[in-house]
A and B are shown apart, each in its own frame.
Chain A
Amino acid sequence: MKKLVLRYINLPLMISALSLPSYALEAMNDSELSLTTGEGIGVIVDNLSIHSADKRVDPNAPLGPGEFEITLDLVETPDQDQLIFSELRIHKTGTVSGTADSGGNFGTVNNPVFLGDLRTVDIFTGDAADPGNSMMTTTTVMRSEFPGASLSQVDRSNKRQEDNLAGYQAAAAQFESDLDAISDKFTAHIRFDDLIGGGSNNFRAVIDVEGFRFYGTYSDIFATANHGVSIAGATGLYVDQLTVSTSLPTSTSKQAAIDNNDYVTTPIDSRLTFNGIDIYTTLGTSNQPMTLDNVTDAEGNNQLQIEISPLPASVGIAPKSNIYVKSIYFGEKYNPELRTGLRSGMADDGTPENYHYAFQPDVGNTIEIRGMQVQHLRITTMDI
């Protein structure tokens, strides 16, 4: 039997290793800790691009090369009721998904994704129903931000545009310019299918989101009594164009997209397109934190409950959320069936640009939801 023997034990080397200087971790005192406030971790993403191939023609066949699927099982028995997401793509707007130059930048060194700043905030801890009770408790929150968190939503209301169109256009252009400085525009593509009762795969929709960027987005995470983890935050999202298609691309529609330099490749008559979408929503505040709780329903089942706490009567006014949609296309942009009149001074000769169209106002928005205030929101799952 062979024995493993160390032939040359290097005693000086062992001593030298032991002789390396050592350092002790020392506790920080309160004054030193206080100096850390305001610091956090910054993250920037360069050349962000994610690509997966078109879904295979036969959904029952194995995944093809480059395909990617996310499947949600909605019941405990697998492969019965499913939502299936595929063709996931995110890339810089104006580029071709999957190519080496399709990456876009998200954030800058001075305006990055920001994680972990600790700061003190006053949290409402009184009786929400009592107008005279405004008791606040100072607590520590962990702040996280997306690039452009300090940017506010532009007032895109019809009234603003009608009162001062030039002023509105200048503010909107400044907003675009401020966003340009911190993030590229991105385009996303995803396909939805489903499966019901263990049956066959059903195609439902393709969604294309062109030119999207976040602004005013942040979250504060903290703890509240009787709830635990609580969140205050907001999300702002501006999208140039969002298209929902209910038909799959065909060879004809793909060729038409190439001819028209159109990103979306589905048949035009299957599309519903929203242009100039601006969504700003608050998702809890220090007065009305958003909480996640376990609750038991009437049948005794455990359920997940997401709640934005009741608005304290002493506060009275909740932050406002606004949604604007500039215009909507039903199928093609110049749909003859949606003509509402002839433009002033134009010839009635069938030239598409000579007419007004429904849901395409020259000034203002076609959808405007302004001043939404959450008084109290409670969402409870109803799984069995």
Chain B
Amino acid sequence: MINKIVITAALSFSLIMSSFAELVPVGDDVLNEVAGQSGITLNAKIILGDESSFVFTNTSGKKKADATAGETGYLIVDELQGALEFEGLGFDLVSDLKNSGKSALQWTLPNKIKATNFKTTGIYISSTEEVNPGTTSTFLMGLKLNGELSLPANTQVSIFVVN
């Protein structure tokens, strides 16, 4: 028991001390060695219930509170549902993107994207925020994705600040 108390106290003390430590800038040469070694690789699956929807509100350039009913319209992607699965999705940070000196978030796209009845039952133009087919909402189209898309070439998207 005494040993545990001593070890715990020692670790805690070191942590307290480290909280006052000075931050030292890391040079580019060190960052270059780090690049590509860190990052996250994951598989992901998103399953949406049929109550998910996307609503774009057009208030004719006015604040919503100021827009009249005639000036307010909605584009509704209704009842989004189904599953999207990503295999081999990766995120990384690079410090010298293509020898430009720029840091970037590098996103390795999944090598496989699988959609299982990923769909919206309807995209509507509507004068109300709720979909009411035949009265306040007009059906434009439905959209459904099914199957597997492969990205066989290790596709990478790099995002960085331009100035």
Q: Given A42-B161, A301-B138, are A228 and B60 neighbors across the interface (CB < 8 Å)? A: yes
| List of B residues within 8 angstroms of A76 by Cβ | 122, 133, 139, 142
Whether a CB of chain A sits under 8 angstroms from the CB of B160 is yes
Instruction: Establish whether residues B61 and A227, one from each chain, have CB atoms under 8 Å apart when the complex forms.
Output: yes
In the docked arrangement, what's the CA distance between A20 and B16, Å? 9
Whether B97 is near chain A, meaning CB under 8 Å from some CB there, is yes
How many B residues touch A, CB cutoff 8 Å?
60
How far, in whole Å, are A20 and B19 apart by their CA atoms in the complex? 6
B147 touching A304, Cβ below 8 Å: no
List of B residues within 8 angstroms of A247 by Cβ: none
Complexed CA–CA distance, A99 and B162 (Å): 33
A294 close to B125 (CB less than 8 A): yes
Tell whether, in the assembled complex, residue B13 and residue A52 are in contact, meaning their CB atoms are under 8 Å apart.
no
CB distance from B122 to the nearest CB of A (A): 6
- Total A-B contacts with CB atoms under 8 angstroms apart: 192
Among residues of B, the one whose C-beta sits closest to the C-beta of A39 is B163
Question: Do A88 and B149 contact each other (CB < 8 Å), given the known contacts A10-B8, A39-B162?
Answer: yes
B147: A residues at CB distance < 8 A:
52, 63, 66-69
Residues of B within 8 A of A71 (CB): 142-146
- Known contacts A12-B16, A78-B142; decide if A47 and B8 are in contact (CB<8 Å): no
Q: How large is the interface on A (under 10, 10 to 19, 20 to 34, 35 or more residues)?
A: 35 or more
CB pair B98 A66 closer than 8 Å: no
- Interface code B125-163, partner A: CB below 8 Å = 1, 0 otherwise? 111000001001111111111111111111111111111
Contact indicator A13/B12 (Cβ below 8 Å)? yes
Residues 82-117 of chain A: 1 if any B CB is under 8 Å from the residue's CB, otherwise 0?
Answer: 000000100100000011111100001110101001
Whether B153 and A102, one on each chain, are in contact in the complex, defined by CB atoms closer than 8 angstroms, is yes
Chain B interface residues (CB < 8 Å from chain A)? 4, 8-9, 11-13, 15-16, 18-20, 58-62, 71-75, 97-98, 100, 102, 115, 121-122, 125-127, 133, 136-163
Chain A interfacial positions (CB closer than 8 Å to B): 8, 10-13, 15-16, 19-21, 38-52, 63, 65-76, 78, 88, 91, 98-103, 108-110, 112, 114, 117, 223-229, 292-294, 296, 301-304, 381, 383-384
